[in-house]
Structure 1
Amino acid sequence: MYALYIANKNYSSWSLRPWVLLKTLGIDFDERFVPFLQASSYEEFRKFSPTGLVPCLVDGDLTVWDSLAITEYVAEDYSQVWPGDRAARAWARSAAAEMHSGFATLRNICGMNVGVRVRMHEINGALQTNLDRMDELWSEGLSRFGGPFLAGETFTAVDAFFCPVAFRVQTYDLKLSDTSLAYCERLLELPAMKEWYEAGLAETIRDEPHDAEIGLAGALIEDLRAV
């Protein structure tokens, strides 16, 4: 059985990707939770991850790090990770890779913090460009492959890669098209996403660097996390 190392569900967008993929597809794994501990996190994470980062997947004597590499590794055992249709699979891989390497402004300004609600100070030009591209990309997938997921009828890895964005849209009340907002709601309603969200709310561990990002992005208007 796979062992998947993840960090705080409130903050760790990268951990969410393989976790929600495995959960939603019904692929068994052993969750290994190791929280962010500020300055000491790197050394703790180095005990299981060569990069000192999460997520990290261990399969017997094999270690696979990085969410995209983990996805491709799991796909070798479970074909349903990617769409069965070749054209849909090519598009899905391209979109997932774009999310993996792009949308830097969205990541930097709107860090994942599932348990809070934030009123943005502003939507600057670079962030709006990211949001416009997100709208374009999602609309293309949903239209081209018929929905309700980005590459067709079933949830695949490309949807998993955008699950952290759905939480960001909820946290920061980001404005997207009606089509994109409806897709976000479908992601948030997935049983695995609800499970992750409830666990994130229940966490009492706080990571100061992550929480400090809130003030840079906007004003905190609600904190739903456990005290």
Structure 2
Amino acid sequence: MTQASEIRATLTISSKTYSAWSLRGWLLCRLAGLDVVEKTVVNDAANRAELLLLSPSVLVPRLTCKGASVWDTLAIAEFLNEQFPYAGMLPADPIARAHCRSISGEIHSGFTNLRSALPMNLKVRHEKFPVFSGARPDIERIEAIWIDCLQTFGGPFLFGAQPTVADAMYAPVTTRFVTYAVALPPECSAYCRTIAEWAPMREWVEAAKAEPEEMEELDVEF
């Protein structure tokens, strides 16, 4: 069986400071044990034509691996799980696995008020930030998802001792809560710390800090 570390793959991403979707795709590759060559493309007018050639949806991340071109985060997750099933990207138990897929799909397609009210920005911290009231239901729903998983599966990650696809999908949310000093229940605060201390997450944040300050904020689109 070919090991993930033996495969050459490319991941097209956007800003590490602002792009939540790029972070998700990158963490998914790390979960699979897949080392990728990173290609950074900013989605401005000058680069839009190149992005169109890379991905019909004009979205990043885009994974090129073993002849496949995959550009949606959940599609990337499923592709990597199929290619590297030994990596344990999804829980082994079928009930837990279904739950993992469900909450991953929920963050993938929802929480638009949260996205717009609290854009990802890894370079700033607000001690006090007025959270738009429309984002409150999104925050409360995420808290409920996290608490349910942590209590059911024992933590410190959402499905137990090891990170899964769900943790990659919710990782950018933890950074938003920290950036904007969102008050959270103790279990949720502890989960944010778990993600912050996760080695791939630390690596990403350090790289984000090294990005040029002039990079455009992109999370509205990404």
Of the three residues 13, 35, 55, the one matched with 1:28 is 35
When the two chains are superposed, the root-mean-square deviation of aligned CA atoms in Å is 1.8
**Matched residue, 2:94:** 86
Distance, in Å, in 2 between the alignment partners of 1:62 and 1:51 is 16
Residue 193 of structure 2 corresponds to which residue in structure 1?
185
Instruction: Work out the percentage of aligned pairs sharing the same amino acid.
Output: 38
**Aligned pairs for 1:91-170 within 5 A:** 91-118=99-126, 121-170=129-178
| Structure 1 residue 18, shift from structure 2 partner | 1.9
For 2:183 and 2:162, how far apart are their aligned partners in 1? 26
Indicate yes or no: 2:15 matched with 1:8. Answer: yes
CA contact (8 A) 2:174 2:195 kept: yes
SS at match of 1:4: strand
Q: Which of 62, 72, 83 matches 2:78?
A: 72
- Runs of 4+ with deviation above 6 angstroms: none
- TM-score normalised to structure 2 length: 0.88
* 5+ residue gaps, structure 1: 214-227
Higher strand fraction (1 or 2) = 1
Query: What is the match of residue 51 of structure 1?
Result: 57
TM-score normalised by the chain length of structure 1: 0.86
Q: Which residue of 2 aligns with 1:220?
A: none
* Cα distance in 1, alignment partners of residues 186 and 33 from structure 2: 30
Q: What SS does structure 1 have at the residue aligned with 2:64?
A: strand
1:39 to 33, 38, 45: 45
More off after superposition, 186-195 vs 122-131: 122-131
Per-residue deviation, 1:61: 2.9
Aligned length: 211
Q: Gapped runs of 5+ residues in structure 2? A: 1-7
How far 1:50 sits from its partner (Å)? 1.8
Partner of 1:216: none
Counterpart CA distance in 2 for 1:46 and 1:155 is 33
Report the CA distance between 1:46 and its aligned residue: 1.8
Cα deviation digits, residues 34-71 of structure 1 (max 9, x gap): 2x253223223123222221000112432111111111
State the 1:25 CA deviation: 4.5
Contact 2:62–2:71 under 8 Å retained in 1? yes
One-letter amino acid of the counterpart of residue 48, structure 2: Y
